[in-house]
Amino acid sequence: MAMKLYLDTANVAEIRELSWLVDGVTTNPSLVAREKRPFRDVLQEICAIVAGPVSAEVVALDRDGMVREARELAEVAANVVVKIPMTEAGMQAVQLLSREGVHTNVTLVFSANQALLAAKCGATYVSPFVGRIDDAGGDGMALVEEILTVYDPYDFPTEIIVASVRHPGHVLQAALLGAHIATVPYDVLKKLFGHPLTDAGIARFLKDWQQIPQG
């Protein structure tokens, strides 16, 4: 199974540009707010561009409110995945939604125990926030490794989305560990294409080409 790359953005222009490459999209209220457009309009447009999963987050904090919002979001398009925060009420909502066939992405995960509970409640995806852990002086990729170790003996179908990616090194580490998915900001994903030696090599080849007699 190949590792999947999602684009972590709500910017339609960025998604159109990289739609040929990415396997899905993740959004959150902060990303959608930057677009200054109605949330549902943005979500519908993204889902029309991307065939893969598109994560959209609820804003309610109680179980019934989350379930209600999740059902509404799931009606927007068949590829919508509902992001639910890692709380007790959130896991109650995930359990109910999973029974209804609504795909969920448990977000704001910072421990393997939280990831374990999400899987037990039927989450489709779980999103450890590696960058925020690193920012706080921890080791975000060590958490991803722990979650993979916990999931492996039990054959949980829950897939791990490495989130809060800060730099290309996070993507590489996620791939080396065997994480299912990394969701990557636009600027970080663009950096994956480049390397100074690639640029230098192209420049050298073009310079040498100019020395070849034409005609």
pLDDT value at residue 210: 87
CA distance 48 to 194: 29
Q: Is the pLDDT of residue 1 over 80?
A: no
Tokens standing for 32? 């959608």
Is 29 within a domain?
A: yes
- DSSP conformational letter for 194: -
The residue-averaged pLDDT of 199-209 equals 90
Is 159 within a domain?
A: yes
pTM confidence score: 0.94
Catalytic machinery residues? 83
Q: Which residue is listed with tokens 């910072």?
A: 110
The residue-averaged pLDDT of 160-179 equals 97
Tokens standing for 18? 């990289």
Note down the domain range covering 98: 4-210
pLDDT value at residue 215: 67
Average pLDDT, the chain: 96
Q: Read off the CATH number of the domain in which 119 is found.
A: 3.20.20.70
Is 112 within a domain?
A: yes
Domain count, the chain: 1
